[in-house]
Amino acid sequence: MKKSRAETAQTRQRILEVAVQAFKSKGITATGVAEIMAGAGLSHGGFYRHFETKEQLVAKACAASMATFVQSFEAAAAGGHESFLKHLQDFLSTAHRDEMLGGCALVAIGSELVRADAETRRAATQGFEDLVDVIAKWMPQKDSSSAKDEALFTLSAMIGAVTMARMIDDPALSARTLDVARERLAPQPSRPQKKRARSTRG
Amino acid sequence: MKKSRAETAQTRQRILEVAVQAFKSKGITATGVAEIMAGAGLSHGGFYRHFETKEQLVAKACAASMATFVQSFEAAAAGGHESFLKHLQDFLSTAHRDEMLGGCALVAIGSELVRADAETRRAATQGFEDLVDVIAKWMPQKDSSSAKDEALFTLSAMIGAVTMARMIDDPALSARTLDVARERLAPQPSRPQKKRARSTRG
DNA sequence: TGTACATCAGTGAACGCGCGTTCACTGATGTAC
DNA sequence: TGTACATCAGTGAACGCGCGTTCACTGATGTAC
């Protein structure tokens, strides 16, 4: 039952997409190869016609997921400062918190990536750095060096906030965690102010 | 071979301590019950004399780890503002990044805690909130509400920074991630200034 | 305080199960002539 | 363009292994008298 080259490429792509969603929703270790193949409508044995090991799939899935995520950021950034700011706010929204499948892999499997193999960490780091570069373009800092620093802080803080918001079992505290991050990292420039925004409460 | 009550309590404590370290260094899913028991010098069968399930052990281990971590924060906070600030800086140090065993569970297994059971998430959330409260005491904000907001932001940002610093495979970028977080979240008050510290570079 | 007995911490074999990976096989695809 | 054959995507059984959990058993501990 050999398939055409086009079909083979499609199948590989399908496995990759299912893997990305499975890893992000269930975690890397807790997701099995057979489970992914079943999700792609295939039996488990054919997996090794497309990937050498599960580890390699993890690396490719991480790279694919990050590439998609970076693209969405670049598209938003290309739409101007307002569009970019909206994208930062969406990252820190309850919608992103509650949506594991389409969300950021660095949030969904962050602590698992720490223990992943070299190729996977490389892909994750590359994606992280790409995001930093996109964010840096819209930072108010004059020189690019301190703009990148600010972007580096912004991104790592956002990832921490969404991760904790997902973990926290108290809905009010979870929402507040996102709110305070949004106020500080992606403030609405409704009233002109150069400095970091302060809390709008109390 | 029944053991005395004191011995039984010691054994349970030993299992818990081994579990805390194993979960933090290898992750929850990747750590087996037999492995933990072997680490405590026991065979795997006796595990169920101390805990009902692996999930329950995870919850207890999470609670124990967070309690220890909160205590270290409280001790540092009791030593005055300088001592407290030093503790924040230590959290964002390369030493904490490289030390999985004694470090913060929210960093080590953050994305796994999202998928943990209710009891574990409760323990993690409680620990998180306790840390927020300790940090809030030393925040410069006047009213306690916005001090807690600032502490909430500080803690979630610190967790994101250390998690990403552990994942990043480029040593310079990893160190810079910690640096920029330290500058913004735990600035040295060497020259008196009320506002958030700026980058000391560029 | 001493004896008889119930309790239960810990052992190690065994349970069913799913894991990642391998392999013989099938048959459509792609290639060589 | 048509035929002969090598390739290889996908199947499904099987591999060894480790998982969480159970259980019969042992013998020291704690208790009741």
* DSSP per-residue string spanning B96-137: HHH--SSS-HHHHTHHHHTTS-HHHHHHHHHHHHHHHHHHHH
CB contact under 8 A, A27 and B129: no
Size of interface A-B (CB pairs under 8 A): 166
> What chain A residue is nearest to B152 in terms of C-alpha separation?
A177
pLDDT tier at A190 (50, 70, 90 boundaries)?
Answer: low
pLDDT at B199 over 50: no
Residues B193, B189: Cα–Cα separation, whole Å: 7
Which among A96, A164, A174 is the top mutation candidate for probing chain B, defined by the most B β-carbons within 10 Å of its own β-carbon? A164
Torsion-angle region of A31 (φ positive above 0: left; ψ -120 to 50: alpha; else: beta)? beta
Query: What is the C-alpha to C-alpha distance for residues B7 and B4, in angstroms, rounded to an integer?
Result: 5
Average confidence (pLDDT) over B35-53: 97
Interface of B with A in 29-58 (CB under 8 A): 29-30
B114, B165, B198 member nearest A166 (Cβ): B114
Q: For chain A, percent helix, then strand, then coil, each to nearest 5? A: 70, 0, 30
Cβ within 8 Å of residue B32, ≥6 positions away: none
Question: Which residues of chain B neighbour A173 with C-beta distances below 8 Å?
Answer: 125, 129, 152
CA atoms of A133 and A131, how far apart (whole Å): 5
Q: How confident is the model at residue A4 (pLDDT cuts 50, 70, 90)?
A: confident
Contact between A30 and B29 (Cβ < 8 Å): yes
pLDDT tens-digit profile of B138-191?
A: 999 889 999 999 999 999 999 999 999 999 999 999 999 999 999 999 998 765
| Residue in A121, A153, A166 closest to B181 by CB | A153
Over residues B32-61, the mean pLDDT reads 97
Cα atoms found within 13 Å of the Cα of residue A108, Cβ hemisphere only: 25
Residue with CA nearest to D7's C1' atom: A2
The pLDDT of residue A193 is above 60 = no
Mean pLDDT, residues B128-137: 98
pLDDT of A5 reads 86
Exposure string for A66-100, b = 16+ CB within 10 A, e = fewer:
beebbeebbebbeeeeeebbebbbebbbeebbeeb
The reply to whether A121 touches chain B by the CB within 8 Å rule is yes
Task: Tell me whether residues B167 and A114 touch, CB distance under 8 A.
Answer: yes
Report the alpha-carbon distance of residue A139 to residue A32 in Å, rounded: 41
How many angstroms is C1' of C16 away from CA of B175? 48
In chain A, how long is the greatest CA-to-CA distance?
Answer: 68
At residue B201, the pLDDT reads 38
Looking at the whole model, is its pTM more than 0.95?
no
